[in-house]
């Protein structure tokens, strides 16, 4: 649930108030998780009820489990449902109490059964997952970071993919690899840092009417107005980015929160996203290399219903049955029902999970 701040102070102090409260949450999130149960259940249920009225649902033919709201936990529940849609590709190892419990819940979410409770998972989150996870995207980021430590990165044979100087590679299934550098248009030189390869678990995209255009915006050269090149020119450099590896699981986060006139605002506009897509092509690759363009299939969507001041997270997820037959589920805490894929495509996507076919 996005933090709710009721504040009548001047607009320009609103951000600092938010930060203070967020810091408080960072240190007291366990207490608040329990203490705000009533409030969370009330607001979450209220948004959930309002949202359910908008969604035409068919009676669930199969009883796939939902998750109890254990107090402001709709963001956790939606993340778990989204991960369950790709659990067979995650390759998470049960080497820690957290990953063992995570695997247990994800496995249960793919079997018919009664409503589950993620309390036991929350109990394993202390320490390494102590961040201010009031936001589904931050929580997912933190969970994937912890889960990646449970894996044994296997060195891939990337000789045909990477230039010799960028052979570092990992096989974390949800990480895509980006090449970045800073280049000056006055002297044509690349900065001393050279080309760096970065592995990204969740790619954040700006809001746009189409998912593809949003992605391509991320790859546009970024003007560094204050950057001073060693040739003496200031403001002639650009940060260049190119994608070098598409992962088996592609996790995209649509940045719907922004600042307008010093106020935090939510971008409500719809963005079209496909069910099946071929990975996009980038013109003029930084490393002058050809990148394989795999085909992806939509596996899950997390949507935030409500405004900056509060709201409710729900997930749409695909379940596979009997081979390739799949159906789509609407998951709002303990409520799980079947929906059509057309209804999923009408959602206001906040996090998108795609699976490589
Ligand atoms: Zn220069």
Rounded to the nearest angstrom, the distance between the alpha carbon of 232 and the centre of ligand 1 is: 6
Q: Are the beta carbons of 271 and 210 closer than 8 angstroms?
A: yes
Q: Produce one character per residue of 78-101: b if its CB has 16 or more CB atoms within 10 Å, e if not.
A: bbbbbbbbbbeebbbeeebebbeb
Q: Which residues contact 140 (CB under 8 A, 6 or more apart)?
A: 79, 82, 83, 202, 251, 351
pLDDT at 20: 45
203-205 vs 249-254, strand pairing mode = parallel
Residue 213 belongs to some domain of the structure: no
pLDDT at 3: 35
Residue 178 belongs to some domain of the structure: no
Residue 73 belongs to some domain of the structure: yes
Helix (H, G, I), strand (E, B) or coil at 138: helix
The CA distance from 24 to 103, in Å, is 31
Residue 110 is given by DSSP the state T
Rounded to the nearest angstrom, the distance between the alpha carbon of 235 and the centre of ligand 1 is: 9
Helix (H, G, I), strand (E, B) or coil at 216: helix
Rounded to the nearest angstrom, the distance between the alpha carbon of 190 and the centre of ligand 1 is: 8
pLDDT at 18: 42
Rounded to the nearest angstrom, the distance between the alpha carbon of 186 and the centre of ligand 1 is: 5
Structural domain including 31 reads 11-153+248-356
The CA distance from 246 to 50, in Å, is 38
Rounded to the nearest angstrom, the distance between the alpha carbon of 282 and the centre of ligand 1 is: 25
CB-proximal residues (5 Å) to ion ligand 1? 184, 186-187, 229, 231, 233
The CA distance from 268 to 311, in Å, is 13
Residue 232 belongs to some domain of the structure: no
Which residues does residue 257 pair with via DSSP β-bridges, in sequence order?
A: 266
Burial (Cβ within 10 Å: 0-12, 13-18, ≥19) of residue 6: exposed
pLDDT at 342: 96
Rounded to the nearest angstrom, the distance between the alpha carbon of 286 and the centre of ligand 1 is: 17
Q: Which residues contact 345 (CB under 8 A, 6 or more apart)?
A: 272, 273, 275
Rounded to the nearest angstrom, the distance between the alpha carbon of 200 and the centre of ligand 1 is: 29
Helix (H, G, I), strand (E, B) or coil at 242: strand
Rounded to the nearest angstrom, the distance between the alpha carbon of 228 and the centre of ligand 1 is: 8
Other beta carbons within 10 angstroms of residue 19's beta carbon come to 10
The CA distance from 350 to 354, in Å, is 13
Rounded to the nearest angstrom, the distance between the alpha carbon of 287 and the centre of ligand 1 is: 19
CATH number of residue 322's parent domain: 3.90.70.10
Residue 167 belongs to some domain of the structure: no
C-alpha 15: how far from chain center:
23
CA dist 81 → 12, 77, 142, 175 (Å): 37, 6, 16, 19
Token duo for residue 241: 């980015």
Reading the chain (357 residues) residue by residue, the pLDDT tens digits are 333 222 233 333 333 434 444 444 444 444 444 444 434 444 555 555 556 555 555 555 558 999 999 888 899 999 999 999 999 999 888 988 999 999 999 999 999 999 999 989 988 887 555 444 468 888 898 888 888 887 755 444 333 333 433 334 458 999 999 999 999 999 999 988 889 999 999 999 998 899 999 998 999 999 999 999 999 999 999 999 999 999 999 999 999 888 888 888 888 888 999 999 999 888 888 888 888 899 999 999 999 998 887 789 999 999 988 767 889 999 999 999 999 999 999 999 999 999 999
Residue 201 belongs to some domain of the structure: no
Rounded to the nearest angstrom, the distance between the alpha carbon of 16 and the centre of ligand 1 is: 38
Residue whose pair of structure tokens reads 């010799």 in the numeric block: 164
Rounded to the nearest angstrom, the distance between the alpha carbon of 144 and the centre of ligand 1 is: 38
Q: Which residues contact 189 (CB under 8 A, 6 or more apart)?
A: 183, 229, 230, 231
- The number of folded domains in the chain is 1
Sign of CA dihedral 281, 287, 292, 294: negative
pLDDT at 263: 83
Rounded to the nearest angstrom, the distance between the alpha carbon of 173 and the centre of ligand 1 is: 38
Other beta carbons within 10 angstroms of residue 325's beta carbon come to 8
Rounded to the nearest angstrom, the distance between the alpha carbon of 184 and the centre of ligand 1 is: 4
Residue 170 belongs to some domain of the structure: no
Residue 184 belongs to some domain of the structure: no
pLDDT at 33: 41
Rounded to the nearest angstrom, the distance between the alpha carbon of 284 and the centre of ligand 1 is: 21
Closest CA to 37 of 68, 4, 80: 68
């Amino acid at each position: 649930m996005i933090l709710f701040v009721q504040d009548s102070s001047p607009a320009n102090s609103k951000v600092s108030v938010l930060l203070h409260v967020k810091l408080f949450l960072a240190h007291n999130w366990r207490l608040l998780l329990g203490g705000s149960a009533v409030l969370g259940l009330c607001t979450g249920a209220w948004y959930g009820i309002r949202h359910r009225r908008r969604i035409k649902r068919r009676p669930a033919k199969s009883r796939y489990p939902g998750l109890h709201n254990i107090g402001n936990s709709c963001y956790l529940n939606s993340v778990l449902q989204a991960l369950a849609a790709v659990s067979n590709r995650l390759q998470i190892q049960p080497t820690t109490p957290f990953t063992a419990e995570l695997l247990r819940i994800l496995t249960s979410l793919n079997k018919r059964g009664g409503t589950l409770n993620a309390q036991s998972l929350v109990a394993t989150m202390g320490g390494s997952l102590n961040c201010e996870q009031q936001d589904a995207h931050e929580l997912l980021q933190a969970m994937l970071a912890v889960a990646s430590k449970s894996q044994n990165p296997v060195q891939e044979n990337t000789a045909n993919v990477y230039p010799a100087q960028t052979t570092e590679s990992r096989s974390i299934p949800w990480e895509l690899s980006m090449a970045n550098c800073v280049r000056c248009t006055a002297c044509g030189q690349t900065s001393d840092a050279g080309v760096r390869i970065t592995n990204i678990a969740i790619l954040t995209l700006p809001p746009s009417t189409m998912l593809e255009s949003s992605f391509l915006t991320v790859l546009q050269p970024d003007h560094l107005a204050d950057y001073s090149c060693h040739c003496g020119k200031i403001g002639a450099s650009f940060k260049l980015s190119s994608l070098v590896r598409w992962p088996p699981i592609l996790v995209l986060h649509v940045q719907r929160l922004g600042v307008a006139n010093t106020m935090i605002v939510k971008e409500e506009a719809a963005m079209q996203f496909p069910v099946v897509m071929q990975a996009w092509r980038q013109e003029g690759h930084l490393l002058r290399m050809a990148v394989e363009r795999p085909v992806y299939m939509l596996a899950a969507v997390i949507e935030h219903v409500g405004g900056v001041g509060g709201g409710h997270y729900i997930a749409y997820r695909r379940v596979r049955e009997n081979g390739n037959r799949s159906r789509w589920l609407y998951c709002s805490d303990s409520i799980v029902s079947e929906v059509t894929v057309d209804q999923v495509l009408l959602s206001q996507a906040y996090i998108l999970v795609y699976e490589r076919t």
